[in-house]
Structure 1
Amino acid sequence: MDSTHHPQPTDSAAEEDAAQFWERIYRARSAWAARVNPLLAEVAAPLRPGAALDLACGPGGDTLWLARQGWHVTAVDISATAVEQVRTRARELGVAELVTAERHDLADSFPGGRFDLVSAQYFQTPYELPRARILRTAARALRPGGLLLVVDHGSAAPWSWNQDPDVHYPMPDETAAALALDPARWSVLRADMPRRRAVGPAGETATVVDSVLLLRRTAA
């Protein structure tokens, strides 16, 4: 999901299911410019391109950036509109052969394959989601030496869909504990909460906090 373009629920959102909610969001986003999330670019830029998985790809800023760096990317989202936007943009940019875009409700299905990088950018939603189970599945889809990058919101931007002042944002150690991965097979490379200047859908800016967890699979 794009870090800068988070929706605000309508009064009818409670009557929607997750698929309907994200369909509505991405239909409205069709004119928005998809751009790479900065922490993904920071982590992936020095890596040798391989196979990547973009969880909850949204309009495809991360997927398209990775493909343009030479990665073979599997992009998945619950929104069929988002998936089609990624396919269309990949064709326009001449990287369609490097992008496989699939619709998945990750609570029910998961893409096949083995990956060198799995990116879960702002994998947060107003709907119930078995997040830890999905991220464990993602970690297990890594090849030895592969990286799992989980970036969560550590604060709310003014344009975020979630303005609940009592919301609890997961800290990196909480995310790692919830995954409960065997430390003999996965190692923590990074767990911190950096601040950055973010840009919203209307060009507004705000300082936000990210929660970053970077894991490496060290053994099969």
Structure 2
Amino acid sequence: MFTQEFWDERYAGSDRIWSGNPNRRLVEHVDGLRPGTALDVGCGEGADAVWLARHGWQVVGVDVSQVALDRAAEHAEQNGVGRQCRWQQVDLMAGGPLPEADLVSVHFLHLPDPQFERAYAAAAAAVRPGGTLLVGAHHPADIGTGLRNDRLAHLLFAPEKVTALLDPADWDVQVADAPTREETRDGATATVTDTVVRAVRRA
């Protein structure tokens, strides 16, 4: 399920997988930052990238799926921000460097070990001095809500799994939290928990 083939097939099988709205935690934690360059890691269909571009950011969206990237590019054009967005196919499981940016946003990227450490270390390394790393994810507290696949419980993580990768000499961790929110799916509403990490790379 972590291959380009898997995700290309999944995206191709539906007109849209995600809501088309930006992630709530992105909006909460980026609002107020001075726009610059942004890297959206695992950008999917581009909702976060488009929101960032509409708020003044120059965005590079990366994803393993070319089908998702093509859909994201179309979404950006439809919203009048095609010129503010670039798209790059990247296999995060393979590691390697990512484009540098003032803001690196990683939302709901759930990977097994050791690929988790490799991908998130690459994301952190892409943050320019003085820039921000923002991570949002499903928290392990969500297991049992019925809104997550319990077979994938080992992929959910708490903030500490991310902050453990950040050297305190280089990073100021501003937020390492597990806020809750209401989520409705198929008519059922449950309280879910998000992992949220916001850290600034020391200049």
Q: Please classify the TM superposition score into its range, dividing by the shorter chain length.
A: 0.7 to 0.9
Which of 30, 39, 47 lines up with 1:44 in the alignment? 30
CA offset digits 1:159-213 (Å, max 9, x no partner): 43x2238647321113211x1x32111111111111001244x565432101111
Q: 1:68 to 1:215 in 2, by over 3 A?
A: same
Q: How does the TM-score come out when normalised to structure 1? A: 0.81
Q: 1:99 matched to which residue of 2? A: 85
Give the drift of 1:66.
0.6
Higher RCO structure, 1 or 2 (CA under 8 Å, sep 6+) = 1
Greater percentage in helix: 2
Give the drift of 1:152.
1.6
Identity of aligned residues (%): 37
SS at match of 2:174: strand
SS at match of 1:42: helix
- Whether 1:141 aligns to 2:126 is yes
Contact 1:172 1:191 in 2 (8 A): yes
CA offset digits 1:11-42 (Å, max 9, x no partner): xxxxx662222112212342354110100100
Runs (5+) with no aligned partner, structure 2: none
- Whether 1:211 aligns to 2:195 is yes
CA distance in 2, matches of 1:146, 1:166: 31
SS at match of 1:124: coil
Q: 1:30 to 1:136 in 2, by over 3 A?
A: same
Q: 1:83 matched to which residue of 2? A: 69
Give the drift of 1:53.
0.6
Which contiguous aligned blocks of 4+ residues in structure 1 show a shift greater than 3 angstroms? 109-113, 156-160, 165-169, 202-205
Runs (5+) with no aligned partner, structure 1: 1-15
The letter of the residue matching 1:18 is: T
Q: How does the TM-score come out when normalised to structure 2? A: 0.87
CA distance in 1, matches of 2:76, 2:99: 20
The letter of the residue matching 1:67 is: A
The letter of the residue matching 2:59 is: V
Q: 1:169 matched to which residue of 2? A: 156
CA distance in 1, matches of 2:163, 2:16: 36
Aligned residue pairs total 199
CA distance in 2, matches of 1:204, 1:147: 35
Give the drift of 1:70.
1.1
- Whether 1:58 aligns to 2:44 is yes
The letter of the residue matching 1:214 is: R
- Whether 1:191 aligns to 2:179 is no
Contact 1:35 1:60 in 2 (8 A): no
